[in-house]
């Protein structure tokens, strides 16, 4: 099956820098929707906008010093209906119309909290949808799987609209912030979950290499506290996970929930499962090719995947060498102190005990469950109402 994709972002912006786009008055006027210009119909995109605001305009009113600290480190940070978002490559004009964003019935949406295996799953989906077409897989990943809220600094909606069906789309947005048609599940959704201890560690290191998150090495203890209090970009992992998991339990025909740990332990099984869910059963002869293509080491070397070929300079630091950092299950054990582990476990139990969601925190635990039960995630689970 041959597939094509519009060269979305590259159509408009090629190898400009973040400073030029967001601090240079000429660049900002010509190439973003941050100011009144041709892209915003010459109106201030923030004025009289109840949905989107600049964090810097309200930073002094933030009473929580930890939250204020974190928010001040995110360049050009935005608030979307109270949710903290990155500032770079996020169009205020697009966000203001996000609620009514139209979906197509054959869209495939990947939902995840940041650093939960998003890139890996995007590549797996690309292989399944295209039947591992090498021409399609040679296209940069950010053009094969377009993120909903982050993308071209102007005309982002046109970029998404120009993608031929079936579109592969992704978002990190919590359920309640997604477009109405996505909340109504007008297309199929893959929900990727990762145990929050490893996700926290990955997000912590990612902040140091991501230019759109400030390229700042936060004090570990302070970042740990920010995480538990839900101060980070995209808010609380717990709130995000609980809301989407609730929908996955109610609508297993529309949402397939998988875990990063399951993919690490038995990728073959998960590839087949995803293919069946999407109505695209993967041929047996294609499985070894997909598994090899999507191995962690190959992904790390693949320039179309590892974000080494993004069209805007400065989105990542250190030539993106750390974009795919470790990938190990249980990496959290080299970061958490015994005291932090105890605090986290208590908080996790309080937040998640009644959800019926089971996640695994070690490779051994994952292997044991998948060997005996086949899956870690069980969308048919019965919830104790107490």
Concerning whether 251 is annotated as a catalytic residue, the answer is no
Both structure tokens of 138: 């040679």
* Alpha-carbon 186 to chain mean position: 20
SS3 per residue for the chain: CCCCCCCHHHHHCCCEEHHHHHCCHHHHHHHCCCCCCHHHCCCCCCCCCCCEEEHHHCHHHCCCHHHHHHHHCCCCCEEECCEEECCCCCCHHHHHCHHHCCCCCCCEEEEECCCCCHHHHHHHHHHHHHCCCHHHHCCCHHHHEEECCCCCCCCHHHHHHCCCCCCEEEECCCHHHCCHHHHCCCCEEEEEECCHHHHHHHHHHHHHHEHHHCCCCCCHHHHHHHHHCCCCCCCCHHHHHHHHHHHHHHCCCCEEEEEHHHHHHCHHHHHHHHHHHCCCCCCHHHHHHHHHHCCHHHHHHCCCCCCCCCCEECCECHHHCCCCCCCCCCHHHHCCCHHHHHHHHHHHHHHHCCCCCCCCCCHHHHHHHHHHHCCCCCCCCCCCCC
| CB contact at 8 A, 175 and 183 | yes
Indicate which residue of 142, 147, 156, 172 is catalytic.
172
C-alpha separations of 121 from 295, 314, 337 in Å: 11, 24, 30
User: What is the distance between the terminal CA atoms of the chain, rounded to a whole angstrom?
Assistant: 50
| CB contact at 8 A, 217 and 203 | no
Place of tokens 């080299």: 334
Q: Name the residues annotated as catalytic.
A: 172
């Amino acid at each position: 099956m041959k597939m094509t994709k519009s060269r979305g972002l590259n159509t408009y912006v090629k190898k400009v820098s973040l400073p030029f786009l967001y601090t240079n008055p000429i660049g900002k006027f010509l190439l973003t929707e941050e100011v009144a210009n041709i892209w915003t119909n010459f109106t201030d995109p923030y004025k009289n906008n109840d949905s989107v605001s600049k964090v810097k305009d309200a930073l002094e009113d933030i009473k929580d010093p930890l939250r204020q600290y974190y928010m001040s480190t995110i360049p050009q940070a935005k608030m979307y209906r109270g949710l903290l978002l990155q500032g770079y490559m996020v169009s205020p004009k697009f966000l203001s119309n996000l609620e009514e964003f139209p979906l197509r019935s054959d869209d495939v949406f990947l939902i995840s909290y940041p650093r939960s295996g998003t890139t890996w799953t995007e590549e797996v989906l690309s292989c399944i949808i295209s039947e591992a077409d090498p021409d399609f897989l040679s296209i940069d990943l950010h053009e094969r799987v377009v993120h909903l809220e982050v993308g071209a600094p102007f005309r982002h909606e046109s970029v998404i609209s120009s993608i031929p069906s079936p579109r592969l789309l992704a978002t990190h947005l919590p359920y309640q912030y997604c477009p109405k048609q996505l909340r109504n599940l007008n297309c199929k959704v893959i929900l990727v979950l990762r145990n929050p201890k490893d996700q926290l560690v990955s997000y912590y290191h990612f902040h140091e290499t991501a230019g759109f998150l400030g390229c700042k090495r936060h004090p570990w203890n302070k970042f740990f506290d920010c995480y538990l209090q839900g101060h980070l970009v995209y808010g609380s992992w717990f709130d995000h996970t609980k809301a989407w998991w609730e929908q996955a339990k109610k609508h297993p025909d529309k949402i397939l929930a998988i875990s990063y740990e399951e993919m690490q332990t038995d990728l073959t099984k998960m590839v087949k499962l995803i293919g069946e869910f999407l109505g695209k059963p993967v041929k047996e002869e294609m499985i070894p090719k997909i598994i090899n293509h999507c191995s962690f080491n190959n992904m790390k070397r693949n320039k179309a995947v590892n974000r080494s070929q993004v069209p805007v300079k400065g989105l990542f630091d250190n030539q993106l060498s750390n974009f795919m950092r470790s990938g190990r299950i249980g990496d959290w054990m080299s970061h958490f102190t015994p005291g932090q582990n105890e605090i986290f476990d208590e908080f996790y139990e309080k937040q998640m005990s009644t959800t019926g969601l089971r996640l695994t925190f070690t490779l051994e635990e994952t292997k044991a469950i998948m060997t005996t039960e086949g899956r870690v995630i069980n969308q048919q689970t019965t919830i104790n109402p107490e």
